[in-house]
Chain A
Amino acid sequence: MFERTLNVFWIVFGAASAVYAWSLGMVGPAGPESGLFPFIASVIVSGAGIILLLRPSSAAPDFPRGGGLWRVLGVIAGLVVMAAGMPYLGFSVTSFITMIILLRAVDQSSWLTAVSLAFISTASVFWLFGQMLGMALPRGPWGW
């Protein structure tokens, strides 16, 4: 069912993309326009989607359940916190919070282990990239 839905998505996505590419223009007086190449790619996406939809569906994908699903969702949640929090809280604080989420949700570490590991790893990465390699990592309102 999931695979069939995805195949329908490819068809619709490819068609929408082809319509947009067409609006950019195909061929003009100066030769090929901006839309030609993406139009060809979009048609291929849609066409492949149709072929996949018409073919018998393969075995159901082995998506995670139970503990495995929670661990996967924990990692995704950690990354969402990271991407959403970094512009406001800076790299160090956001990483520290994310690491605690990951270690608690995924590894089920104790609070003491999670906080210690989060501090050590965040400080190490900040020192290596921010200090040693001179990368400009985002800073929070407190200046670090």
Chain B
Amino acid sequence: MEAVNGLLTGFGVILTPSNLYLCFLGSLIGTLVGVLPGVGPLAALALLLPVTFTLSPVGGLVMLSSIFYGAMYGGSTTSILLNIPGEAASVVTCFDGHQMARQGRAGPALGIAAIGSFIAGTLGVIIMTFFAPAIAAVAIRFGPPENFALMVLGLVCTLFMISGSTIKGVLMMALGCLTAAVGLDVVNGRERYTFGSVDLSGGIELLAVVIGLFGIAEILSNVETMAKTTLLADRIRGLWPTLADWRASWRPILRGSGLGFLLGLVPGGGPVTAAFMSYALEKRIAAQPERFGKGAIEGVAGPESANNSAVAGSLIPVLSLGIPSNPVTALLLGALIIQGIQPGPLFIAQRPDLFWGIVASMYIGNVFLLLLNLPLVGLWVQFLRIPYRVMFPVVLLLCVVGTYSANKNVFDLWVMLGFGVGGYVLRKLEYDLAPFVIAFVLAPLLEQSLRQSLVMSPDGAMILIKRPVAAVLLAASAVLTYLMFRRRTKNEGGLS
């Protein structure tokens, strides 16, 4: 009942012309970002973050979150028509979606991707409506030791879910914490790692880091190859799937929705992992797995549903616990902190307008996105005709404006360039950059919780073991760490 009342409050907040406009604008930008290869939701969010400073917190957050889930819708269009994922979570849609397009079934592929996304997105928000307040109600009793242990668990989960080397992930995480330490110590105001530089005393700007690592590094990777592609836009006929398509798709949509939501909840999970896991699941349980990769509609319906549902799932830990589960939600957390709002267990109680406004906007945003992605698919196809060689200089210009506008400081452009080149090189060496960003955002809160815990304890670090919840969370982290290294040893054994 409390959730229903909250949701009504949320609709009261969102159903104003300006907030509806921002929700629509975010959905539109999100779809465009998803459609255009080489511009991910993270880079787009980072670019538009400074714009939201001039908006109300509700309006800004509604716009940013609608860009996030909008990109999940738009990403499938490029995967299906061009065989290039519009964003990372749509990689798997290429496997069967593009094959369907080659067989003249681009319409049903785009249709099932949009409808599946709508169903999964809406189901995800419904679960979120009831689930997030329950989690927050438990977490409200947490003190600094529990918060510290929870963040440690979040970081360990992130490491557990990354695809590459665990050690490289650990290194990136520690590096993220170190980078966040640059500037003034939040507890006593002492300068750290500034070496007398005025520019560094304010700390390293989040936007410069994110735009560098995910915007500039992406551009550098893309201009390196400049692959030529074939657009299968002429083969879009009849977007509505046939009865046979529906029969094959409804179960994958529901399974994808559930799986995506659960994986979204887990730090390190999120839309990308959800899409891959859903594809693997559908292939494993299929009566004819050999159809996958040759145009099976289940290979589009499942992953596209999973990545949308994962968005709702991934917003729960960030809004109810203050723990981001992926770089995009880390940026959303950063956006809230910049607005002077601290997400966490008290967030729902202290800012019900904001929390329920975001939840309500997701119901409306999903409807906007269905309308934008089905009847207007022809419009998005026109954007795909723009060659990347013409598009990337404009994206680069937007990266510069987005970075500069945060502090009106040219120093941030050098930081962006440094992180861009660094991110490009590290990607080449198979370093996962997600742990860096998550640690960079979480580090100030993690340090503060650790120091508060140690100050309030007469037994030093023992407080982390003496408090039952903190002890359980740390034990879970230890178990996950053990499993992580055992898996690595097994893999290495298998390889040898």
User: Which range contains the number of B residues in contact with the other chain?
Assistant: 35 or more
Whole-angstrom CA separation of A80 from B392 in the bound complex? 16
Instruction: List residues of chain A with CB within 8 A of the CB of B175.
Output: 41, 45
Decide if B408 touches A34 in the complex (CB within 8 Å): no
For window 161-218 of chain B, which residues contact chain A by CB distance below 8 Å? 165, 167-168, 170-171, 173-175, 177-178, 181, 185, 187-188, 190, 192-193, 216
Whole-angstrom CA separation of A83 from B401 in the bound complex? 11
The verdict on A52 contacting B410 (CB below 8 Å), with A31-B451, A121-B394, A133-B51 known, is no
Per-position 1/0 for B411-431, Cβ under 8 A of A: 001101100110010001110
Whole-angstrom CA separation of A72 from B175 in the bound complex? 25
Pick the residue among A34, A79, A137 that contacts B396 (CB under 8 A): A79
Decide if A42 touches B397 in the complex (CB within 8 Å): no
Question: Least Cβ distance of A6 to chain B in Å?
Answer: 7
Question: Least Cβ distance of B443 to chain A in Å?
Answer: 8
Whole-angstrom CA separation of A102 from B389 in the bound complex? 9
Decide if B417 touches A125 in the complex (CB within 8 Å): no
Decide if A117 touches B177 in the complex (CB within 8 Å): no
Decide if B396 touches A61 in the complex (CB within 8 Å): no
Per-position 1/0 for A54-66, Cβ under 8 A of B: 0100100111100
Instruction: List residues of chain A with CB within 8 A of the CB of B223.
Output: 68, 71-72, 74-75, 106
> Does B368 interact with chain A (Cβ within 8 Å)?
no
Instruction: List residues of chain A with CB within 8 A of the CB of B447.
Output: 37
> Does A1 interact with chain B (Cβ within 8 Å)?
no
Decide if B429 touches A61 in the complex (CB within 8 Å): yes
Instruction: List residues of chain A with CB within 8 A of the CB of B455.
Output: 30-32
> Does A86 interact with chain B (Cβ within 8 Å)?
yes
Pick the residue among B225, B398, B416 that contacts A125 (CB under 8 A): B398
Tell me the nearest residue of chain B to A74, going by C-beta: B223
> Does B405 interact with chain A (Cβ within 8 Å)?
yes
Decide if B397 touches A121 in the complex (CB within 8 Å): yes
Pick the residue among B167, B192, B408, B417 that contacts A79 (CB under 8 A): B417
How many chain A residues touch B (Cβ–Cβ < 8 Å)?
67
Whole-angstrom CA separation of A117 from B193 in the bound complex? 42
Question: Least Cβ distance of A13 to chain B in Å?
Answer: 9
Decide if A63 touches B428 in the complex (CB within 8 Å): yes
Decide if A137 touches B451 in the complex (CB within 8 Å): no
Decide if B450 touches A48 in the complex (CB within 8 Å): no
For window 239-285 of chain B, which residues contact chain A by CB distance below 8 Å? none
Decide if A52 touches B190 in the complex (CB within 8 Å): no
Instruction: List residues of chain A with CB within 8 A of the CB of B392.
Output: 75, 102, 106
The verdict on A17 contacting B410 (CB below 8 Å), with A32-B451, A137-B404 known, is no
Whole-angstrom CA separation of A124 from B395 in the bound complex? 12
Tell me the nearest residue of chain B to A134, going by C-beta: B54
> Does B289 interact with chain A (Cβ within 8 Å)?
no
Decide if B417 touches A71 in the complex (CB within 8 Å): no
Tell me the nearest residue of chain A to B448, going by C-beta: A37
Whole-angstrom CA separation of A65 from B190 in the bound complex? 46
> Does B390 interact with chain A (Cβ within 8 Å)?
yes
> Does B459 interact with chain A (Cβ within 8 Å)?
no
The verdict on A49 contacting B225 (CB below 8 Å), with A34-B192, A38-B181 known, is no
> Does A19 interact with chain B (Cβ within 8 Å)?
no
> Does B297 interact with chain A (Cβ within 8 Å)?
no
Decide if A129 touches B401 in the complex (CB within 8 Å): yes
Instruction: List residues of chain B with CB within 8 A of the CB of A6.
Output: 429
> Does A140 interact with chain B (Cβ within 8 Å)?
no
Instruction: List residues of chain B with CB within 8 A of the CB of A118.
Output: 393
Whole-angstrom CA separation of A79 from B394 in the bound complex? 12
> Does B219 interact with chain A (Cβ within 8 Å)?
yes
Pick the residue among A17, A38, A48, A106 that contacts B167 (CB under 8 A): A48
Decide if A41 touches B181 in the complex (CB within 8 Å): yes
Can you list 18 residue pairs at the A/B interface with Cβ under 8 Å? A17-B178, A37-B443, A37-B451, A38-B193, A45-B175, A48-B171, A52-B168, A62-B428, A72-B223, A75-B392, A75-B396, A78-B396, A79-B420, A83-B417, A99-B397, A106-B393, A107-B393, A118-B393
Sample of 6 further A-B pairs with CB below 8 A, known A35-B192, A38-B193, A76-B220 = A32-B454, A38-B177, A38-B192, A74-B223, A80-B417, A99-B397
Q: Report A's interface with B, CB cutoff 8 A.
A: 2-3, 6, 10, 14, 17, 20-21, 24, 27, 30-32, 34-38, 41-42, 44-45, 48-49, 51-52, 55, 58, 61-64, 68-69, 71-72, 74-76, 78-80, 82-83, 86-87, 91, 95, 98-99, 102-103, 106-107, 117-118, 121-122, 124-125, 129, 133-138
Top 8 closest pairs, chain A to chain B, by CB: A44-B174, A48-B171, A31-B455, A83-B413, A41-B177, A107-B389, A37-B447, A68-B224
